Amino acid sequence: MDHLEMLTIKDACQSISLQFGRLQDERRHDDLADLMTADACYVRLGEELQVEDFIAWIKTTTPNKTTHFVTPTAFSVVEEDIAKGVTYYTLYLYNGEEEKPYPLEGPFVVGEYHEAFARTDDGWKIQRREARIIFRKKI
């Protein structure tokens, strides 16, 4: 694989991570499935959810105002049809009634997405995403 192809793969995969957080923040949950393979798995709090179950679960969450900040992905594997890496994230959450700008007390969660991407006929998609919480706001 040449350097340009490797950069193209990394860019496509990082773009998916950015889009994923944005769609969550916009509560466009059905669109999340388009970023994932048909057999994708999302792991949260140690529970593995298939893509359909993940979408069903996320639709039940409280409609808080959220903003996900994600870093570029630190790739450990980049091959022709698969890529793996870690993307750090910070989640800001507000569940009050005030309008923008929302009061800020710091991040709600800081963590890592351990991700596996796969090339499909429709481009790169998330095949597995494990959200690991590193820091969480005291409640």
User: Please, what sign has the CA dihedral across residues 61, 54, 56, 37?
Assistant: positive
Alpha helices in the chain (DSSP H): 3-25, 29-32, 51-58
Write out the two tokens for 94.
Answer: 């507000």
CATH of the domain at 54: 3.10.450.50
* The pLDDT of residue 105: 85
Domain count for the chain, please give it.
1
| 120: pLDDT strictly greater than 90 | yes
Q: Give me the domain span that covers residue 22.
A: 3-136
Q: CA-to-CA distance for 68 and 64, rounded, in angstroms?
A: 12
Which DSSP state fits 59? T
| 139: pLDDT strictly greater than 90 | no
pLDDT digits 0-9 by tens, 85-117: 999 999 999 999 999 999 988 999 999 999 999
pLDDT digits 0-9 by tens, 44-81: 999 999 999 999 999 999 999 999 999 999 999 999 99
